[in-house]
Amino acid sequence: MARVSLGLRVDRDCGGIHGFGPFRTLDRSYPDWHFRLARLGAPRSLSSHPPTMPTRTQDLLVLVARILATAAIVRYGIAKFFDTKVFIENPATIGFMKAFFGESKAPVWLAYANAVFQTGAGLCVMAGIRARWAAFLLLLWLGALTYFGHPFWTHSGAERSTHEGYFLRNLAMMGALMMVMATGAGNLSLDNRGRSEGGSRR
């Protein structure tokens, strides 16, 4: 059977697919619009639904993503309990103290407070305990850390490249935290233990 090639135009604003000549607009909301497209000789990508990933696989990927996104946060948070200089002598801490308090040295109690927050919030995202809120707080903290600690635009040469690398690394971590805020912790989390796969996510 000979196939007649028809001109089709996808109207993204209206959500419809239009055919020229006597053919009417096929609206995406119509239940069997993809079958009609197939009969008109449209490409398969327009006439079939995209494949979906199994829910269990999605949840496993979200779990791994949460762990990878916060591994460094938790690791360096724990380190501050044993060596407060990691926090006090950090360029981000020095820049923050100068900007808001007019001095460069942070008190020791603030180092321990930061260690508690950093470790606790990181573990909450990892385990999926109020993950959205924990990710939001970490996002604010990491944003301040990145701005005050790695302003690569104020450096030059090799030092600029080093700070730019840390800056971009932190942006990637912030992006991962935003994903947790948007999607929740998934079913493999303490927030959603015992929930059905189709249940809501926190």
Torsion of CA 74, 107, 95, 116, to 10 degrees: 20
Domain boundaries, the chain: 8-47, 55-183
* Cα of 70 vs its chain's centroid, Å: 12
Identify whether the C-beta of residue 201 lies closer than 8 Å to the C-beta of residue 185: yes
> What is the model's pLDDT at position 201?
54
Cα distances from 4 to residues 1, 7, 47, 98, in angstroms, run: 10, 10, 17, 72
Q: What is the CA radius of gyration of the chain?
A: 25
Identify whether the C-beta of residue 35 lies closer than 8 Å to the C-beta of residue 22: no
Q: Of the candidates 167, 110, 161, which has an alpha carbon nearest to the alpha carbon of residue 143? A: 167
| pLDDT in single tens digits along all 202 residues of the chain | 444 444 444 444 444 444 444 444 444 444 454 455 455 555 555 445 556 777 888 889 999 999 999 999 999 999 999 999 989 998 899 888 988 888 778 999 999 999 999 999 999 999 999 999 999 999 999 999 999 988 888 888 888 888 899 899 999 999 999 999 998 888 989 988 756 444 545 5
CA angle 193, 197, 202 (to 5 degrees): 55
